[in-house]
Structure 1
Amino acid sequence: MAGVLIEKQLARHVYSSLEAASCPLVEGLYLQEADSMLQLLCAPSQHRTDILAWICSSISPSFTSSKPMSVRSKEPDVLTKDMAVLGQELLLCRASDVDLIRGDASPRRQLQFLEQLLAFVPGCVKSAGHTADGELLLKEFFGAENLPHLTQTLSPAFDPWPTHIKALWKNTKSSYKPNREENGDIVALLQATQSALEQLQSKCVFLNSEAQSPPAFSPSSLRVAASDLQQLMATFSHVYETDLRVYCSRDPPSFSSETEVFQRVQQLLLACNTELEMLKEVSEASESVSEEVKQLQTQPHYWSRGEKHTLPDQLEKVIGRIGGFLSQLSS
């Protein structure tokens, strides 16, 4: 946090130094916030490069005459290296500190470099010093310890007017006497205004507090509600007599107290479900067995004389061998 505050103070000081040196590249900007000054002085941009080139040309007039600016604008690395060489001659940086010239270094380092460069610009340090002194004076004037004195100055407890002004004011107040005609005109104007306001209030119903209160329950609305209720009751009586009375007059159904039948039905249903599950498992097992048999008959799994053969082929060969063996025994 302290580093950020120091960077903002350095940015303000460098910007005020550029204004004091009458740098044409900051004229008309009117920057007030420290973040905008940091963006201008520390972020890589063509405007920042032009400001550095102006500072270098103000320090060394031969900087602009050493190489044409058109060549430098076409080759920005040449301009960057020339400014780094000038900084080395001034013992402010090394010739290899190209990142400091481009704006890739830390903001604090860039601001310190700019501050040291501006110290070589003629007429810059003195004016910037006056500006810094003014800022210090304002900070001290508006400090927390001086706020009570400032408040007392703005709203003094004693009347600071001179004696002759006080006497003139007292004489003016004592010599002024209201006229009866003026009082009569004022009273008539007030009465006319009050009557206009009363007429306006009578025309605007929503301004009346009595109109905003809910209306009382009138006999006519009660009569309408009673007639609606009578019609509903008559309709219900008609529906009850024609449709609902037959069902309402029936005796309630009698339930048997013997529950063994339901228990037996439940047990039979459970047994049926068990048998169905067993049949399902048997069918699944038969399908798996048939699949295995099919694989044994179709897929070669048995080796004979360096080759795989299926089970039926192997059985045929074994049967043929046994038949040949039996024929040899019989002969």
Structure 2
Amino acid sequence: MVGPVLKMAGSTALRKAELVYERLKKLSCLPLEGVYVSSPENIHELLCTPSVIRLGVLEWLCTRAYPPLQKQFSTLKESEGEIKIKEMAKLGFELMLCHEGDVDLIKGLVPSSRQLFLMESLLNIIEMPRNISRVSGLECSSESVDEAFTNCAFENEKLLHEIFYSHQLQATLTPECNPWPADLQPLLLKKELPESAHQSDKNTIISQHLEELQKISTALHELKEECTFLCIPVPGSETVIQTLKLAMTDFHQLIAAFTQVYENEFQEHCNHPAPRLSPCGPLFQSVYCLLESCSQELKAVAQFTETSNTITEVVRKRQQIKESFGGGSTVTLYEKIKEIKHNYELFLSALQ
């Protein structure tokens, strides 16, 4: 029966599985001894479908890529196969071939492309010493392979050391550009610009007042946004909250217009100190009165809500408390009304 992995395999996956299988046969993979498959579909199913042979192939690849793992596996029992799977996943993570703890990849429960990539990468690691010896012109003895591998690692380390400690790399990472241009030097060196000789105390005071006006304008704008939800438009009527919103909007627009005109037109030609805003003006008094009316309305709404809750609680308790009506048994008001209704229905049926 063809597995679900094989059903989704394409021609590319089948071809890659064939190449991996040929490389395994060329290296005399022990778990594949006595196994004869020829069609690409059967090869793909053998390498990418969970089975004992497939797990044995992965174990053989891992021990060949990292020989100390063979000694560790030899001490494990057959019932400890899960430990082998975890160790192989750990090796794949250390070789940056899979995620940490990716046991599903080892078990063959992931797409075939990932499985074939793992096998192909392990084969590259196993064949790396042979390729090095072939390029170096050495014989395929173990001592020559180890020596070629050591020399290659030493040369790579030396090259990386020269690159990282070279003057060109350091100059690229920390570039220098002296002398700085006159207009960029204060910014790049993070120095404050020199104060102007023509700056006066009046300009400082004006700037402070402008900042205060800007803060007031920002606060009023935030207050306007917070009070938006209180304004529920009612056709044909005008509430205190709507009037308050309109006054606050006008106030904000006046301050914003004054700030803009003062900064753009009057600031350069004004020799007088900034005007002082009096908190007793008619606009402030109007806003205060509207706020007071709004507060009173909110208090009335709160009292109405509290009274409604109290009435609801009294009715609920009245329905739950058992009392004696006319010297009879103690029952709730609901039960007594239900009993009277039942007796009335019986009386009507008797009359009919």
Range of TM-score over shorter length = 0.3 to 0.5
TM-score by length of 2: 0.34
**Relative contact order (C-alpha < 8 Å, sep 6+): which is higher?**
1
TM-score by length of 1: 0.36
Which entry has the higher C-alpha Rg, 1 or 2? 1
